A = this chain, B = another copy of it.
């Protein structure tokens, strides 16, 4: 049916071994035969059978990109950025197989013959059993977005702490001194990290930290609303509030508006995530964006290196965030 190296061999008058070597640029073959064989291959429109190649070389030319799930609950811009990022790195040499972890009731069906390497965009600790399974099989793996503890693996994470630190420094540069935070959900790693960044920025700039300016939240709209209410009840209302995610920022804005105040004229707001809706709010929300595309690109590149050299150090890499400056922050006061 389709052209094989044996067909080429017959026409060229060489053994199929020689053809194989010629097409793989082996140094054992003379220049002239190489050229002859290559032109024949081209005219015959030869393409290697990757299944046969894979069988003997014991590799698949496949990279697996696994999301926790591909169903409801995955944001489309997130999904797109990740696939795009990984694809831009692995396309050409590898096939990119996209899948959801929740589709695999039994992770054992995944084996090394099938994937040269695996990238996991992890959004839940439920993924861990899957990750451990792959680690056991010694398949090169990179985990994005979620820190996997107690295990040596390549982990690409967003540097939330630094991102918040920068954002709060931006507020300070805009003249704000009374800056509050509405925290994320208790127990979440991201909650801690974002808070640490907040504190760090204040300390760096010798701004004292008021307990009243640190209020709890739960990452949902309602808790942002309630948190802001609490801040509005203070005698010394902050001029700027960092909300640990965009949902809470929306809740906070609602509370401010209800109070008859305006964003950013009376209070400036910064969120975190850069949700789809962030730029459509009025005022458009200034927020901190994780670049999932960059996380994915870095992860994919690291994976390719890992495939080449399996002894590579398993490190944790932090990718910087980007402050999306829009309209929810106002400059205040004179120059400090």
Contact = CB atoms under 8 A, between A and B. Distances in A.
B87 A70 contact: yes
Nearest to A62: B95
Contacts of A147: none
A70 B90 CA distance: 13
Contacts of A81: 76
Contacts of A87: 70, 98-100, 103
Contact of A55 (B51, B84, B108, B111): B51
Interface string A71-114: 10010110111011001100110011111100100001111111
Copies of this chain assembled into the complex:
2
A190 interface: no
Interface residues of A, number: 44
A95 B60 CA distance: 13
A52 interface: yes
Contacts of A62: 95, 97
Contacts of A52: 51, 55
Interface stretch (A42-50, A157-165, A219-227): A42-50
A113 B80 contact: no
5 closest cross-chain pairs (CB), A and B: A280-B280, A76-B80, A51-B54, A76-B77, A51-B55
Interface of A: 2, 45, 47, 49-52, 54-55, 60, 62, 70-71, 74, 76-77, 79-81, 83-84, 87-88, 91-92, 95-100, 103, 108-114, 276-277, 280-282
Given A76-B81, A96-B99, 6 more contacts: A45-B108, A47-B109, A49-B55, A49-B113, A62-B95, A95-B99
10 contacts: A51-B52, A51-B113, A74-B80, A76-B79, A79-B83, A83-B83, A87-B98, A87-B100, A96-B98, A97-B98
